[in-house]
Structure 1
């Protein structure tokens, strides 16, 4: 018997039990990052546009925006609305150094991805929407890069070789330093993202693009068009949360 291997395995189990096998919200014992009770309180994106996953009051085939100007990506996966505890956790990561919340959020997304792609072809590579170097310097890290790294770790545990690869250097670069997007109106966001990104090399035919939140979709659409011009034939969008329209946000938050 390999006692060294056995002791290392036991130590690893104890380490995970002490530091990881607890709910990140209520601290109860759980084999996952969030217990089933806390997961029940998350704002799941149940009613949405079939294509862009924009939250709506009722389930619809295509929202008005997609009917008149359908986004160029193939599919969008957005399991949560950008409200409640999901919004609080993402804001904590971006503005309050709450990096430890990356694990539960990416775990939730990975579980949804595994279910979604159970009958579909996985992308060859995954890229993330990058922050500008000045924003990274202000924040101390790029949250989308950190989230993508953790997401790939979760997916590899289930997919092994089928897991989309993560390039060592993200080919997407942000070249314009803009005001924080949450401080801009919808019209300003749509205008500001034009020519904000560049792509420095050819890419595979089927890729995934990750971002933490999709609001107007202007950033995603600009990056998608760059990926398509660089050789992609299918771009899948992976986001943790989708921001509902103000009118729908009010209706969705009203008690039944």
Structure 2
């Protein structure tokens, strides 16, 4: 018997029992990263465009944008709307160094991904939309890289060798330091990503492209087209949240 391995395993179990089995929002006891009460209060993206996952009032339709100008990707997973608690957690990571929120967010996304890919082949490689080096220096880290790393760990537990590989060097680089997206109007966002990214040709043919939030979809679309031009055959989009259009108003829940 490998006593060293056994003791390490036991220490890990005790550590997880003491510090990980708590809800990251209310700190109540929880089997996973969030308790059932907090999880039920999240703004799920139930009704959305079939293609780009833009929130709509009707499920499984194509929005006007996708009808007039279909995106370059075929698969998009975006389980939440960028509102309420989800928005608070993501902003906490990006602007307040709340890196502890990375784990619950990536856990939630991994749950949705496992469900979404039951009848589909998994991508071979996971890439992420990076920040500009000056923005990384300002924040002290690249949040999408940290999230993609944790997401890979979550998926590895369930998929084993089928888990998409996260390369040590991301082939996507942001070469133009554009203004922060949250400070731009929709029209400015649509113009912003052009010529902002550079692709070093990746080796995989089927790639998952991760970003924390998709708003207009212009950055995702731009990077997808660059990947396809570099020889990738299929790009799947993985985002935690999708930003509703300004005119979108969620329907009130009916009470009995």
- Asked if Structure 1 and Structure 2 have the same fold, meaning a TM-score greater than 0.5 normalized by the shorter chain, the answer is yes
Equivalence for 1:252? 250
Distance 1:202 1:2, change over 3 A: closer
**Residue equivalent to 1:92:** 92
Mapping of residues 215-226 of structure 1, within 5 Å? 215-226=215-226
Which residue in the other structure is 1:30 paired with?
30
Match of 1:187 in 2: 187
User: What displacement does 1:254 show?
Assistant: 4.5
| Residue 67 of structure 1, CA deviation | 0.3
Contact 1:52 1:66 in 2 (8 A): yes
* Two-structure CA RMSD over aligned residues (Å): 1.2
Q: Which residue of 2 aligns with 1:19?
A: 19
Q: Secondary structure at the match of 1:118?
A: coil
Matched, 1:45 2:72: no
Aligned to 1:5: 5
Equivalence for 1:131: 131
Q: Partner of 2:250: helix, strand, or coil?
A: helix
For the 8 Å contact 2:125–2:164, the answer to whether it is kept is: yes
TM-superposition CA deviations, 1:47-80 (whole Å, max 9, x none): 1000000001222410000000010011110000
Gaps of 5+ in 1: none
The CA deviation at 1:202 is: 3.8
Aligned residues: 254
Residue ranges of structure 2 left out of the alignment (5+ in a row): none
Partner in structure 2 of residue 175 of structure 1:
175
SS of residue matched to 2:247: helix
Deviation at 1:4, TM superposition (A): 3.4
Greater displacement, 128-137 / 196-205: 196-205
Offset from partner CA, 1:25-45 (integer Å, 9 cap, x none): 111111200111111000000
Deviation at 1:2, TM superposition (A): 4.3
TM-score by length of 1: 0.96
Query: Do the aligned residues in 2 keep the contact of 1:203 with 1:227 (CA within 8 Å)?
Result: no
TM-score using structure 2 length: 0.96
